[in-house]
Amino acid sequence: MKYEKLAKDIISNVGGKENVNSLTHCITRLRFKLKDESKANTEVLKNMDGVVTVIKSGGQYQVVIGNHVPDVYADVVAIGGFKSSSDEVVQEKTNLFNAFIDTISGVFTPTLGVLDATGMIKGFNAMFVAFGLLTKTSGTYNILNAVGDCLFYFFPIFLGYSAAKKFKGNHFIGMAIGASLVYPTLTTLTTGKPLYTLFAGTIFASPVYVTFLGIPVILMSYSSTVIPIILAAYVGVKVEKGFAKIIPDVVKTFLVPFCTLLVMVPLSLIVIGPISTWAGKLLGAGTLAIYNLSPILAGIFIGAFWQVFVIFGLHWGLVPIAMNNLAVLHYDPILAGTLGASFAQTGVVLAILIKTKNIKLKGIALPAFISGIFGVTEPAIYGVTLPRKKPFIISCIGAAIGGGITGFMGTKLWMMGGLGIFAIPSYIGPKGIDRGFYGAVMSVVISFVLGFIIMFVAGFKDDENVEDSKKKSEEALVKQETLVSPLKGEVKPLSEIKDEAFSTGALGKGIAIEPIEGKLVAPVDGVLTTVFPTGHAIGITSDKGCEILIHIGMDTVKLEGKYFKTILKQGDHVKAGDVILEFDIAAIKKAGYVITTPVVVTNSENYLDIIETDKTKVERKDQLLTVMI
């Protein structure tokens, strides 16, 4: 496993696998649902190598990793034995808004990668037509269009799966409900003269062509819709669980889906689908009305605050609105205002990359700049701009101007596509390249250039010059502290210890020794900060600040000091090799206790690395650990 150690450290610091209800991931983040967030070591996680930062929002505990989050996620799942959702979920107290954000992110997150990919294909296909490289009658165009359209056209099926999964129901029942909504034969039933019209004379007037058991069915097009299937999946899970309680176990496998589908498909077509479709139309009309009050101000507001929404996970509140607009209006002007945000952020990072003399900052800014071009801005936000405040504010200013441009130019998003530069083709409409598309390009260019220029001119407080950084880097390579072996015996890795606190590295990095002589000596010059009355464990702080814990055996505290003899006391200053205590190995083993002794550096996070000896057996005072300062 490539990220095995990082995965173990993350699991340990979110409170252990027993504290995890469920785990998913998006483009850059691990999204945990924890039973008790107070058990998580947030500050430790934030300062951990491989973790960008930690965000607590929308009822989720989000560990921001970066572009390689799928690989880290795979290792975390494998090591923790997690499923993407837990069957036994502890209900948490949360407000309605947090519950909404958590539900929406849980339903849409699994689809985003494929949704972006298919949207990019459709966007580039539109670009090929606009540039005259393809015609709409060619086989190439139509095949690419099928790839680009397939997911969004049959979106209810995909959302049926993810929604049922989120609501803890049978995933395939959710898919079946979604498939019934887009079943092609139903659309052919709306030809000819209707039987009658429901709600005639109102905005909800609906012709009825067919009935189900005498009940009128309002047939609508559910392709690309999002609200009907989410509501249907939610109700479907409730119905499914109701049947599961009353149907005998021996026939549950097929009778629960049988009964659920017989109830839910008609109910979805007769009640849930029409009501939620009308609600979707009202939502689309409402958001468009607000936008039309002042497209420029709307664009400025969305652009300026988009990155703030992303930080707190609040952008999920706009995602279903945008997808609903695409289904109802066939375009969305809301997310168009966010196009310039990632480019403003990237322009700011480029200015910092050019101006800084700090080697470490350059190392962070370069990959952040590259990922920012492709729309992934978390490394830029958390690693570069947000910690320095002014750069983040400047990026928001550039994004606001970019949003204002899209509002002024009437830019519309015509399909869900990629991020960053891959998002640009998504703004080509049915009529090809128009004013709105030019507005999208202008937003990208101007946001990027403004972010770069303002940041370059305004400047920022650099941490150190390049010479100082080089000097410190060189000093870091040579500064170290050596810990000698406090025991004579066989060397073992910490992972072999049958105690999770030690084996996972939760208490620090180090090594274990299987002693063959019952004499323990000081591994460094320092002070005995802790000597347990039972004699089974000691803590030493070296003169250079290294904090060391030596724990003789496992559960030996239960011996209450029997077979241990302390020679020095807490507070004594020791030299490496001084005898601290003695113990009777044979007697301890006879009493039924394991004698394997971990030697760990409890403040490991303060050091570059802890290097273990390559010996399999050590004598007292042999080199055991090298602490890189």
Task: Give every CB contact of residue 331 below 8 A, 6+ residues apart in sequence.
Answer: 325, 412, 413, 414, 429
Q: Quickly tell me which residue has 């598309």 as its tokens.
A: 437
Answer yes or no: 315 catalytic: no
Catalytic choice (25, 315, 536, 551): 551
Q: Nearest to residue 304, comparing CAs of 230, 407, 206? A: 407
Catalytic choice (25, 26, 536, 546): 26
Task: List the structure tokens of 25.
Answer: 């991931």
Task: Give every CB contact of residue 374 below 8 A, 6+ residues apart in sequence.
Answer: 418, 419, 420, 421, 422
What are the contacts of 390-393 at 24+ separation with CB within 8 A?
390/458, 390/460, 391/348, 391/349, 391/352, 391/455, 391/460, 392/307, 392/348
Nearest 5°: the CA angle 312, 315, 316 is 105
Are the C-beta atoms of 233 and 260 separated by less than 8 Å? no
What type of residue is 234? Y
Q: How far, in Å, CA of 101 to CA of 104, rounded? A: 5
Are the C-beta atoms of 512 and 506 separated by less than 8 Å? no
Q: What is the 3-state secondary structure (H, E, C) of 489-548?
A: EEEECHHHCCCHHHHCCCCCEEEEEEECCCEEECCCCEEEEEECCCCCEEEEEECCCCEE
Are the C-beta atoms of 479 and 616 separated by less than 8 Å? no
Task: List the structure tokens of 285.
Answer: 């009309």
- Angstrom CA distances, 149 to 110, 127, 230, 284, 339, stand at 18, 15, 20, 21, 22
Task: List the structure tokens of 347.
Answer: 């322009």
User: Would you list the DSSP string of 396-418?
Assistant: HHHHHHHHHHHHHHT--B-S---
Answer yes or no: 546 catalytic: no
- 3-state helix, strand and coil shares in percent for the chain, rounded to the nearest 5: 55, 15, 30
Instruction: Determine phi and psi for 286, rounding to 5 degrees.
Output: -65, -50
Let me know how many helices (H) and strands (E) the chain has, helices first. 22, 22
Instruction: Determine phi and psi for 456, rounding to 5 degrees.
Output: -65, -40
- Give bridge partners of residue 626 from the DSSP assignment: 482, 611
- Angstrom CA distances, 460 to 37, 383, 389, stand at 35, 15, 10
Taken in order 93, 96, 101, 106, the sign of the CA dihedral is positive
Instruction: Determine phi and psi for 164, rounding to 5 degrees.
Output: -60, -40
Which residues are marked as active site? 26, 551
